[in-house]
Structure 1
Amino acid sequence: MKKQFAVIGLGRFGGSICKSLSQQGMEVLAIDMDEDKVNEFSSVATHAVIADSTDESVLKNLGIRNFDHVIVAIGDNIQSSILTTLILKELGVSKITVKAQNDYHEKVLNKIGADKIVHPERDMGVRIAHNIVSNSVLDYLELSDEHSIVELIANSRMDNKSIIELDIRAKYGANIVAIKNGDEIIVSPQADQKIYKGDILIVIGSDQDINRLERQLLNRD
Structure 2
Amino acid sequence: MNIFGKRLSRAVHRQAIAVVLMAMGAVIVATIALMLVTGYPFDRVLFEAVSAFGTVGLSTGITYELPPAAEVILAALMFLGRIGPLFSEKSRRIAEADSVAVIGLGRFGSALAEELMASGTEVLGIDVSEEIVQSFNGVLTQVVRADSTKEEVLRQLAVDQFDRVVVAIGDDVQASTLTASVLLHLNVPVIWAKAIGEQHGRILEQLGVHHVIFPEKDMGRRVAHLVRGAAMDYLEVERGYAMAKISPPQVIRGIPLGQTGIRKSHGITVTAYKTLAEQWRNADNQTVVNEGDTILIVGPTAQVEAFAQLR
Q: Could you tell me the TM-score, scaled by structure 1's length?
A: 0.87
Instruction: Determine which structure has more spread, i.e. the larger CA radius of gyration.
Output: 2
SS of equivalent residue, structure 1 residue 107: helix
Counterpart residue number, 2:168 = 73
Cross-structure match for 2:285: 191
Q: Aligned letter for 1:132?
A: V
Equivalent residue in structure 1 for 2:297, among 196, 203, 207: 203
Task: Provide closer, same or farther for how the CA distance between residues 107 and 157 of structure 1 changes in structure 2, counting only shifts above 3 A.
Answer: closer
Cα drift, residue 12 of structure 1: 1.2
**2:307 counterpart (208, 213, 219):** 213
Q: Where does residue 99 of structure 1 map in the other structure?
A: 194
1:166 CA displacement: 4.9
1:27-106 alignment, distance < 5 Å:
27-106=122-201
Deviation of the 1:122 alpha carbon: 0.5
Partners of 1:136 and 1:154 within 8 A in 2: no
After superposition, give the CA deviation of every residue in 1:130-169 in whole Å (9 maximum; x if it has no partner): 1111x24012122344331111123677665543565533
- Cα shift at 1:184: 1.5
Letter in 2 for 1:94: P
> Offset at 1:62?
0.6
Deviation per CA, 1:167-188, whole angstroms, max 9, x where unpaired?
533442321111123552221x
**CA deviation vs aligned residue, 1:83-131 (integer Å, no higher than 9, x gap):** 1111112222222111001121112212222111110110111111111
Corresponding residue for residue 275 of structure 2: 181
State the AA in 2 paired with 1:79: Q
Give 5+ residue unaligned stretches, structure 1: none
Tell me whether 1:7 sits opposite 2:102 in the alignment. yes
* Letter aligned with residue 110 of structure 1: E
| 1:194 partner amino acid | V
How far apart are the structure 2 equivalents of 1:191 and 1:95? 37
Indicate how the Cα distance of structure 1 residues 72 and 212 shifts in structure 2: closer, same or farther if over 3 A, else same. Answer: closer
Deviation at 1:3, TM superposition (A): 1.7
In the alignment, residue 190 of structure 1 is paired with which amino acid? Answer: D
> Once the 2 structures are TM-superposed, how far is the Cα of residue 207 of structure 1 from its aligned partner?
2.8
Q: TM-score, normalised by structure 2?
A: 0.63
State which drifts further: 47-56 or 67-76: 47-56
| More helix per residue | 2
Alpha-carbon deviation of 1:9?
0.4
Return closer, same or farther for 1:154/1:120 CA change in 2, 3 Å cut-off.
same
What does the per-residue CA deviation read over 1:60-94, in whole Å, with 9 as the maximum and x for residues that have no partner?
Answer: 21111111111000011000001111111222222
2-side partners of 1:89 and 1:169: how far apart? 40
For structure 2, the residue ranges without an aligned partner over 5 or more in a row are 1-95
Give yes or no for contact 1:6–1:67 (8 Å, CA) kept in 2: yes
Cα 1:71–1:165 change in 2 (3 A) is same
The Cα of 1:192 is off from its aligned counterpart by: 3.3
The match for 1:149 is 243
- CA-based RMSD: 2.1
Shift of 1:195: 1.3
Distance 2:238 2:178 in 1: 28
CA distance in 2, matches of 1:33, 1:164: 56
